[in-house]
Structure 1
Amino acid sequence: MKKVLNIILATCCSLMFQPLSIWSQDINVLFKEASNFERVQKENEALEKYKLILTQDPANVKALVKATELSAAIGGRQGDKNNKRLFYETALSYAKRAWQSDSNHADAAYAMAMIAGRMTDIETENKQIVAYVKDIKQYADKALSINADHAKANYTLGKWHYEMVTLSGLKKAAVKLFYGGLPSGDLDKAIAYMEKCKTLEPYFALNYLDLAKAYKEARQPAKAIEVLNKLVKLPTRTGDDPAIKAEGAKMLEAIQ
């Protein structure tokens, strides 16, 4: 009788843990498939894989951050404003879920900062624009307080400093009005953060482009040319890279 009970217990334990093992394996396979799609710039297909992961593990920070990045990237290339807004708002919802899942995760904080920057491009209410401007700084600072070597958080904070220096007239007026004064953007800090990003993630094309713009704004054309020459030779890693490199090539031609 004891032997029979032991067999039943062993069988139950096996059945109990088998689904978990299969589930974990499926998650790993989906991550691998998503990564492979990203590697060949099939971003829509990669996003669908991350969505599948989230159906099984809704609080998976890595999948949520990847879904944020891809939704924002795909949205940025939409010609229709409504479609762009839909993708950006979806990206924002993924970022919020990542933040709620783990507010001490540098990637989650970075995702919140990154999508806040995107939202400033489509938001029409000045007060909300300024709220997003504050969010960029707040969440980028948080990401770097958790991991000072987070490449894209360094870029995001550098871009924030650059934009605070170069704000257009209407945006500058709105920020002054609702922020309680113009934030202290610093061009030297912008360059320092983006230079650090370049060291940490040497194939991140957008960082090169904005770093070159910062050097140009700082009246250091030789440095801008050096960065742009590196940019145009970078391998294509994302769906945005061809357009970024084309803009860099045009900027390089204009400076030289």
Structure 2
Amino acid sequence: MRIYRTLLLIFVLLLLLSANNALCQVNDETTETVLRIEELLIQGENQQAWQIIEEIPEDKFAPDDRFWIMASVQYEMGRVADKEGMPFFQKAEEYARSAIKENADNAEGYKWLAITLGAQAKHSDTKAQVKISNKVKENIERAIALNPDDDISYLVLSRWHYKNSSLGGVARAFAKVIYGGLPKASLDEAEKLLLHAIKLRDRIAHRYYLAKVYDRMERRDDVKAQLERAILLPVTFPEETKEKRKAEKKLQRWK
């Protein structure tokens, strides 16, 4: 999970509405800076985006918002680094926790904490994955409770259901012994969450991952329909570029 255009525009609007707050003074230059960061991330210029954040005066952003933006950029840097991404994900986690510490009602802080923890799980052993899994679900559900209109949070929770519904026997046995088991996960719930996310905002990611859910359900016609829709949508955050290519390749193989 990255800084998305919709979230950034909403963030700028909120800052403008909070102009009386000394920590949230916004001018045209600040608005342009936020949008510039988003553009750089989509273009893959992560280091430049990070440099811009570091150079922004502290009084331009509320501390909690500054921290979750930093978390999102560090996450993207880790995603691009692939197998060497763990240090970035861990740093992103620190920033997300700092956002929550500054403001316990900041939905973005919980969302990015869930995303960065999930990213770390990919590079962890079974024991760590089981431990992290519960934290991911807990934090993303908190994010949804605070902001039920954020489509990306539903995507994250749907991915939790998708992955945990197919958890291997070793991981399940470990979870049962150590934690008394994992929360229930299902493909049906993953589908429901993605359909709701699409209702909030149609994105490549939502369609692509819904296709993956249908593939697991062996609903080939529905898989094809979702992939066909996905390739018609615009890229709204960095990961969607890769997901769009995958959708196109899969459809090509089916011709």
Q: Is this a same-fold pair by TM over 0.5?
A: yes
- Give the drift of 1:58: 8.1
Residues 187-228 of structure 1, C-alpha deviation per residue, up to 9 Å, x if partnerless?
A: 11111111111222323x333222111111122222211111
CA distance in 1, matches of 2:187, 2:254: 19
User: What SS does structure 2 have at the residue aligned with 1:148?
Assistant: coil
CA distance, structure 2, for counterparts of residue 63 and residue 198 of structure 1: 28
Runs of 4+ in 1 over 4 A off after TM superposition: 23-29, 54-59, 253-256
Aligned-residue CA RMSD in angstroms?
Answer: 2.8
Partner of 1:91: 92
Larger displacement relative to structure 2 (91-100 or 65-74): 65-74
Distance apart, 1:254 and its partner CA: 5.2
1:43 aligns with 2:46: yes
Aligned partners of 1:124, 1:55: CA distance in 2, in Å?
A: 38
Question: Are 1:106 and 1:143, in contact at CA under 8 Å, matched by a contact in 2?
Answer: yes
Q: Could you say which structure has the larger radius of gyration?
A: 1
Identity of aligned residues (%): 19
- Name the counterpart of 1:78: 81
Partner of 1:13: none
Distance 1:154 1:230 in 2: 19
Q: Which amino acid aligns with 2:130?
A: V
Whole-angstrom CA distance in 2 between matches of 1:180 and 1:58: 42
Aligned to 1:248: 247
- SS of 2:222's partner is helix
1:83-134 CA distance string (max 9 Å, x none): 31111111111111111111212211111111121111112361x3222101
What is the TM-score of this pair, normalised by structure 2? 0.78
Whole-Å separation in 2 of the counterparts to 1:29 and 1:237:
18
**Aligned partners of 1:217 and 1:100: how far apart in 2?**
39
Native 8 Å contact 1:75 1:87 kept in 2? yes
Please list every run of 5 or more consecutive structure 1 residues that lacks an aligned counterpart in the other structure: 1-19
Distance change in 2, residues 1:255/1:160 (3 Å): farther
Contact 2:37 2:52 in 1 (8 A): yes
3-state DSSP of counterpart to 2:193: helix
Q: TM-score, normalised by structure 1?
A: 0.78
Q: What residue identity is the alignment partner of 1:210?
A: Y
